[in-house]
A and B are shown apart, each in its own frame.
Chain A
Amino acid sequence: MSSLAVKPFSAAPSDSDASLRLPVMLFFGSALFWLVVGSLLAFVASWKLIHPGFLDGISWLTYGRIQPAAENALIYGWASQAGIGAGLWLLARLGRTVLNQSKLLITAAIFWNLGVLLGLCGIVGGMSTSIEGLEFPAFASGILLVAFACIGIWSLVLLRDRSSSGLYVTQWYLLAAFLWFPWFYATANLLLVVNPVQGSAQAPIAWWFGSNLIWLWLAPLALASAYYVIPQTQGRSIRAYPWSILAFWGVAFLGGWSGTRSLIGGPVPAWLVSAGVAASILLVIPVILIGINTFGTVSGPVKGPALSFTIFGLVCMAAAVAQNALAPILSVVTQFSDYVTGQSVLVLLGFITMSLFGAMYFIIPRLTGEEFCPVGTGWHFWLVATGIGLSVASLCLGGLIQGFALSDPGVTFLTSLNLVQPFRFLSTIGDLIFFLGCLSFAGAFVDMLLRKADVLPPVKKKGVTV
C-alpha cells in the first residue's frame, strides 16, 4: 500500500493531471492572490498596533477590522484554497482517476472566492460576527458552504472512481478533512452566528471550532501533502508506515478536544478545560509518530523547494504541539499575552502555510510542465522563513515578558505595554519580510504562467483542459 506513493511519476503530465489542470491552477492562483492580500493586511494591522495613529479614524481600516480580515483572508482565501487544490490533485494522482469534466469544480472555485471576497468586505464594512476564525457574516459563510458542497462531492467521486484499490494515508487525511470541514463549519455557524446559543455556552463551542479549523481541516490538508511529497522526492517509501495510520486516528480523535485548553481559569466547567489540556498533551504522541514517518524517510541533505518547505512546516508543527502541551504550565503567564499571537503565527504560517508551499512546489511543475525560476524560489524560502522566524520569536519572547508584567499586581498596564513594544516592532518587521516573500512567490508563479503561455500554442487541445 505504501508503495503507491513511491512509484516514480511520469515525465509528461498524466491524464489525471490534465483533467484537473484548470481547476487546481485556479485554486492555487486565487490562493496566492489572497495570500498576498492577507499578508499585506497582517503587516498593516501590526504596524497600526505600534503606531495607532497610522491610517486611523477610518472605520474600515480600524485595527479591529483589518486584523480579522487578514486572518480570514489567510485561512479561507489562502490556506483552504491551496489545500483544496493540492488535495484534489493528490486524490486524482493517487487514485489514478481521470476527471472528465471539471466545470463544476471551476464553478465551485469561483463561488468560494466570491464568498471570501464578500466575507472580507463584510468584516471591514462592519458586519463581523466577532468570533475568532468565524468573523465572516452568515451570507458569506453560506456561500463558502455551498461552494464546498461541490468540492466535497468531487473529492468523494475522485475516491470512489479510483482505479487503484488500496488507500494511502494521504487519502485518509484528505477524505477525513473533506468530510469534517462542512460538519464543523456548519455546526459553528449555526450555533454561534445564524441562530446563536445563549452567551454562556458560546466560549467552549468557539474554541472547539478553532481547534477543528486547525487540526481537522488545515493540518490534515498539510499532512496529506507532506506524506506524499516526502516519499516522492526521496524516492523511497514512508518509514514505519503502519504508525501513520495510528497517528491519523490520534489526530482525528484529539484534534477537536484540544481547543478548550485555551479556557484555563475561564468561565466553563473544569472538566472541559481538563479534557482540552489532556488532549493537547496526548496530541504529542501522534505528532511524534508523524515525525518518525516523515523525518525518518528523509536521508541526506534536504534539496529542492518542495522538500525544504515541507520539512520547515513539519518542524513548526512539532514546535507548536510542544507549546500547546506546555499550556497548563505556561498559561498563567502567557494567556492573553502576545505569546498567544506567536503560537497562531507558528501554526498558521509556520506549519500550514509552509507545508502548502511545499505542496505547490511539487504539484505546479507537474501540472504545467514548467519549473519555477530557482532565484525566485530561493528568495521566497529565505524571506518567508526569516519573516516567520522573526515574528514567532519576538512575539513569544515579548509575550512572556508582557505576561509576567500583566500578572504582576505591582506593574501597571501601560508599563506592560512599553515593555512589549520593541518586540511588537520586531514582529512587524517579520510580517513585512513575510509579505515580501509571498510577493516573490506570487511573482514567480505569474512568471511561470507567462512562460507557459509563450510555449503553448494559443488553441488548447479540446477535452484536455476542461
Chain B
Amino acid sequence: MNRLPSLITGIVLTFAASWIGVVAYSYVELGRLAPHLDEASGDVNPPPLPGLAEAGMRVYAANGCVSCHSQQVRSDSNDVANKLGPRPTVARDYLREQPAALGSLRIGPDLTNAGLLSSDAAWFHRHLYEPTTVTPGSNMPSFRYLYNIRKISGQPSALALQGLTGPHAPQPGYEVVPTEDAQALVVYLLSLKRNYTLPEAEPLQ
C-alpha cells in the first residue's frame, strides 16, 4: 500500500491553512491599508517620511537596533501609563516602515516615539557616539564607527558634534563629524512620532 500521495496532500493542506489564514490575510487586508486623510486639518497620517528617514531605516536595520529596541506600544498593558506613547500603536502606524521593526525585546527603551523624547538632533548624535555620557548607566554600545574623527583644517565643520565628554571626546584640534549613515539614522529617529490620531486607534492621552 502506498500512502505517500494522500500523506503529501494532508501535509500540504494543513500547511495551507495557516499560510492562507495568516500570510494571505495579512497580505490582502493589512498590506493594502492606505494613509488616512484627516478632513478637518488636511493632515495625512501617518505623515510622509522626511527625505533621509528611509536611508535611516536601513541603518537602523543594518546595525540590528531591533535586537534591543522595540517599536510597539501595546494595548491592554501599562505601556501608555509608562509614557511609551500617547496611545497604543495600530497596524496603520507602520505603513511606511521598511522593515517594520516591532521588535521582541526591550533590552533598551521602546523607540516608537523616539522623536518625542527630544527634538534635538545633537542630543541623539552625542548619545549614539558615547551613550553613557548622555545617559549614565546606559548599557547601549557606542556607535562611534558611524562618526569620523578628523583634524580641523581651516573652518570647523558645521556638523561637528559639540560638547562631547568622556574617553572618546576628540583631542583639541580634532572634531567628530557624523557620517551620512549617522545623519540618516538621527533623521529617522526624530521622525518616530505616533502622536497623531487615527480613526481605528484609541484617543491620545
Query: Chain A contacts of B143 at CB under 8 A?
Result: 62
A180 in contact with B11 given A192-B99, A265-B75 (CB within 8 Å): yes
Central interface residue in A129, A196, A413, by most chain B CB within 10 Å: A413
Q: Which of B17-25, B153-161, B183-191 contacts A (4 or more CB under 8 A)?
A: B17-25
What is the interface size of chain B, counting residues whose CB is below 8 A from a CB of the partner? 79
Shortest beta-carbon distance, B128 to chain A, in Å? 11
Interface pair A64/B76, CB less than 8 Å apart: no
Interface pair B64/A62, CB less than 8 Å apart: yes
Interface pair A332/B23, CB less than 8 Å apart: no
Shortest beta-carbon distance, B72 to chain A, in Å? 6
B27 at the interface (CB under 8 A from A): yes
B40 at the interface (CB under 8 A from A): no
Binary contact readout A165-176 vs B (1 if CB under 8 angstroms, 0 otherwise): 111000010011
Query: Chain B contacts of A176 at CB under 8 A?
Result: 11
B50 at the interface (CB under 8 A from A): no
Shortest beta-carbon distance, A410 to chain B, in Å? 10
Shortest beta-carbon distance, A220 to chain B, in Å? 10
- From 51 to 110 in chain B, residues with beta carbon under 8 angstroms from any chain A beta carbon are 60-68, 70, 72, 74-79, 81-83, 88-107, 109-110
Interface pair A260/B91, CB less than 8 Å apart: no
- From 138 to 172 in chain B, residues with beta carbon under 8 angstroms from any chain A beta carbon are 138-145, 168
Query: Chain B contacts of A63 at CB under 8 A?
Result: 64, 67-68, 141
Interface pair A203/B22, CB less than 8 Å apart: no
Interface pair B21/A252, CB less than 8 Å apart: no
Query: Chain B contacts of A272 at CB under 8 A?
Result: 22, 25-26
A172 in contact with B7 given A205-B23, A252-B14 (CB within 8 Å): yes
B37 at the interface (CB under 8 A from A): no
Query: Chain A contacts of B27 at CB under 8 A?
Result: 191, 197, 201, 205
A418 at the interface (CB under 8 A from B): yes
Interface pair A199/B145, CB less than 8 Å apart: no
Shortest beta-carbon distance, B2 to chain A, in Å? 7
A138 at the interface (CB under 8 A from B): no
**Neighbour of B74 across the interface among A131, A204, A266, CB < 8 A:** A266
User: Which B-chain residue is minimally distant from A132 (CB atoms)?
Assistant: B104
Interface pair B61/A202, CB less than 8 Å apart: no
User: Which B-chain residue is minimally distant from A52 (CB atoms)?
Assistant: B141
Interface pair B99/A336, CB less than 8 Å apart: no
User: Which A-chain residue is minimally distant from B92 (CB atoms)?
Assistant: A200
Shortest beta-carbon distance, A416 to chain B, in Å? 9
Cα A364 to Cα B103 with chains together (Å):
39
Query: Chain B contacts of A65 at CB under 8 A?
Result: 63-64
User: Which B-chain residue is minimally distant from A58 (CB atoms)?
Assistant: B145
Cα A187 to Cα B72 with chains together (Å):
25
Interface pair B139/A336, CB less than 8 Å apart: no
Interface pair B61/A67, CB less than 8 Å apart: no
Interface pair B18/A256, CB less than 8 Å apart: yes
Interface pair B77/A265, CB less than 8 Å apart: yes
Interface pair B63/A201, CB less than 8 Å apart: no
User: Which B-chain residue is minimally distant from A408 (CB atoms)?
Assistant: B78
Interface pair A67/B67, CB less than 8 Å apart: yes
B30 at the interface (CB under 8 A from A): yes
Interface pair B74/A202, CB less than 8 Å apart: no
**Neighbour of A267 across the interface among B66, B90, B141, CB < 8 A:** B90
Query: Chain A contacts of B67 at CB under 8 A?
Result: 63-64, 67-68
Central interface residue in B14, B18, B61, B110, by most chain A CB within 10 Å: B18
- From 233 to 278 in chain A, residues with beta carbon under 8 angstroms from any chain B beta carbon are 249, 252-253, 255-257, 259-260, 262-269, 272, 275
Interface pair A336/B18, CB less than 8 Å apart: no
Cα A269 to Cα B30 with chains together (Å):
9
A9 at the interface (CB under 8 A from B): no
User: Which A-chain residue is minimally distant from B132 (CB atoms)?
Assistant: A52
Cα A252 to Cα B117 with chains together (Å):
45
A179 at the interface (CB under 8 A from B): yes
Query: Chain A contacts of B90 at CB under 8 A?
Result: 267
Taking A196-B98, A336-B104 as known contacts, 18 extra A-B pairs with beta carbons closer than 8 A to each other, sorted by chain A number, are: A52-B139, A52-B142, A57-B168, A63-B68, A64-B63, A126-B63, A198-B30, A198-B95, A200-B94, A203-B91, A208-B18, A256-B17, A265-B79, A266-B102, A332-B76, A336-B70, A336-B106, A338-B105
| 15 A-B residue pairs with CB within 8 Å | A63-B68, A135-B64, A167-B3, A179-B8, A184-B15, A203-B100, A204-B23, A249-B14, A267-B90, A268-B26, A268-B30, A268-B91, A275-B22, A413-B109, A418-B137
